[in-house]
Amino acid sequence: MRKLTVILFTLIMASILVVTAVAADPPATCTNCGQTAFTFIRNAIANCVGEGYDLYECNNCHTEHKTGVVAINPGNHAPNTTRIVKAPAATCIATGIDDYVCNGCNSVITSLPRPIDPNNHAGKDVEGEIVIAPTCHTSGIQNIDCDACHKEKDPRILPMDPDNHGAYGTTPRVITAAICTDKGSMGHYCLGCDALRSTTEISVDPANHGDHDTYTKTITPAICTDKGSMGHYCEGCDALRNTTEIPVDATNHGTYDTHSAVITAAICTTKGTMGHYCDGCDALRSTSDVPIDGDNHGNYSTYSDVITAATCNVKGSLGHYCEGCDKLLSTAEIALNPNNHGNNDTYTEVITAAICNVKGSLGTYCEGCDALLKTDEIAVDLTNHGNNGTHALVITPATCILEGLRGFYCDGCDALRDTAIIAIDPQNHDGDTYEHVIQAATCVAAGIRGIYCEDCDAELDRVPIAIDPDNHVGGTYEKVITPPAVGTPGVMGIYCESCDALLDTKEIPAIVYSLRILANPTVSVYRNKVYTFDVEINGVLATTGVKWTIGDPKYASVDDNGRVTTFNLTGVVSLTATDLATGASITIILRIL
């Protein structure tokens, strides 16, 4: 409809311009010189701003004369140019009106409707959803809607919010270290902007004494046997920080008692000397006399004399006497004389009893001294196993379901002496086995198969099951295998999240071809100006592969990059962009003002 209106307006303007110019008669005489010869110069057609007339020039004095004067014609706007006045401009909800105004008389020649302009929002900005909230580290994005057409406008960039730390955590950093007398301060800083978000107290640190000096105090004084200990204490908290040794003090015996030891022993003829020593360091502290000791014979030698002679069954007695004082100092036994049995009788006694594998021994003894006079052999006794141990042998082994039998045999003669039941042995599986899957193998992990005893069902072993590439666990994810093209569908692959195996495919719809010049269908431009137009192919800004053409090259020129240069003419001309790959084209109208 708008295109038809423009055509009609163009025809109307053309009809106005086509006016038959018929020259009027020249004046009879020149008002300046009275001559009657004239030359026709031009005629002027009456229009909206000026009278119409024929202009003649006197051939003698060259004075110009107007004849056939016609009053101003408000309906003829030629040859004046026009301008477009948007009254009102089109918005996102209402059509506009383009008034074509004569530049000569400023009157409206005609009015044409202008379609709704979805990019000219008549309404106020309405704050919409905050898509991305601003944080201390990043800007935010808020949707802006038009309150007239209720469609989204360009989103608003929200400035960073220093008080919103979003999902950022904190990192602790010591502000003031705690010491033994004072608490410290721990700051918690934002991981995004490093701002201090909060502080917490650090408990007093008894191990950190900061700048406090130390003082000393004796912990344990040194004595004659032991080193002492000197403590070094913090002046702030009185805590013991370290200790040093105090050397042994030989003159200080502390609380030690004394012990006495003989320096010179008293003997049967002479006094002795007693020393008194420190119990700690054994230092001599004093001495005293020891009275004569009638029982101490010092270095005097002794002599011996038999008191009672020894016999075969009665020991003898030997006396030892001091050579200094002749005192009997001690007696000693005289050993029995085994060779003197006197009139004693004899008796017999088994020395070693005969057992199942060893002969025995019978001894003949003196009744006076019990001395063994002779021995005789005793024959083997198969009923007496003596002190022989036993050794065990399995007669029937126990299994996982049946008791066994163990025999105990004499270590000497191997005779069976006893038997015992052997408890069921859960580890002895002599039957068949069967298998059972404990954990199935998947596409990324091996499985486990258990081997069991058929008699008792005990698990005997576990063996791995190889990875099963056909058993997929976990979810799936999608990845484009072949991207879609114009008119050609693409392929989307569905993959196992565990092993990345391709499980299935599905079709991606083909791209619908589109070609669009990024401008309104009709664009007003001005003479002797340069304008650049862009084109999108399939939604992507095209920088190559496009041919630009101007409908009438007398109005403007265009280069391969869509750069239009208008000439010094007003009028309407088409601008066409052609996709060289497909041959498709799109055209807009340039109105040159």
CB atoms within 10 A of CB 479: 10
What is the 3-class SS of 103-166, one letter each residue? CCCCCEEEEEEECCCCCCCCCCEEEEEEEECCCCCCCEEEEEEECCCCCECCCEEECCCCCCCC
Residue with tokens 């650090």, as numbered in its chain? 202
Instruction: Check residue 11 and give its pLDDT.
Output: 42
Instruction: Check residue 5 and give its pLDDT.
Output: 43
Q: Mean pLDDT for each consecutive 10-residue tract of the chain (593 residues)?
A: 43 41 76 91 88 91 89 84 77 81 83 81 74 83 80 82 82 91 91 87 89 91 91 90 90 88 88 90 88 85 86 86 85 84 84 88 87 87 84 89 90 86 87 89 89 87 90 88 87 90 89 90 95 92 94 95 95 95 93 94
C-alpha span between 570 and 575 (Å, rounded): 15
Instruction: Check residue 22 and give its pLDDT.
Output: 47
Residue 547 backbone dihedrals phi, psi, to 5 degrees: -110, 125
Residue with tokens 């137009």, as numbered in its chain? 533
Residue 16 backbone dihedrals phi, psi, to 5 degrees: -70, -40
Instruction: Check residue 1 and give its pLDDT.
Output: 41
Instruction: Check residue 574 and give its pLDDT.
Output: 96
Instruction: Check residue 527 and give its pLDDT.
Output: 95
Q: Is residue 24 within 8 Å of residue 55, measured between CB atoms?
A: no
Instruction: Check residue 426 and give its pLDDT.
Output: 87
Instruction: Check residue 568 and give its pLDDT.
Output: 94
Report the CATH number of the 515-592 domain. Answer: 2.60.40.1080
Instruction: Check residue 18 and give its pLDDT.
Output: 36
Domain ranges of the chain: 125-158, 170-202, 214-246, 258-290, 302-334, 346-378, 390-422, 433-465, 476-508, 515-592
